[in-house]
Amino acid sequence: MTDLKVVRWKQRFANFELSYKLLEKYIGAPIDNELERAGVIQFFEVSFELAWKVLKDYLEAQVFQVNSPREVIKTAFQAGIIENGHVWIDALTDRNLTVHTYDPKLAEKMITDIAEIYFPELKKLYEKLSGEVENVEE
């Protein structure tokens, strides 16, 4: 690993960690209105965006060449960094949908999917990389 690539993925991980912690804080809280629902969805969107980008930087530090989010997810799955590649692809699709569309029924479904399906995958990534970020020499 080159020093610059290591520094980059560690910095990106720090940003991911901040957004992940916010999502973690509110994911189990009761949602009483549209604003709270939108907030949780926004925390997911930011966390997911930073998750695939930290994966990209991590993979590049390992000398993989990846570009698109789908390519990053596929390579991370093949490298054993993430376990459920299909769930990550579904999360990418849903994240793209929520960014460009607001539909109350979709928002309700997203809250459920975030809590039950997507957040557990983000948590696995967070736990895996948080252990590695402390053990990597710059």
Report whether pLDDT(99) > 90. no
| pLDDT score, position 126 | 97
Residues 6+ apart with CB under 8 A from 99: 45
Tens digit of pLDDT for each residue in 47-97?
999 999 999 999 999 889 999 999 999 999 999 999 999 999 999 999 988
pTM assigned to the model: 0.92
Per-domain boundaries in the chain: 3-132
Say how many Å lie between the first and final Cα of the chain, rounded. 9
Choices 3.30.479.10, 1.20.120.330, 1.10.10.10, 3.40.50.720: CATH for 3-132: 1.20.120.330
CA distances 117 to 40, 86, 101, Å, are 14, 11, 21
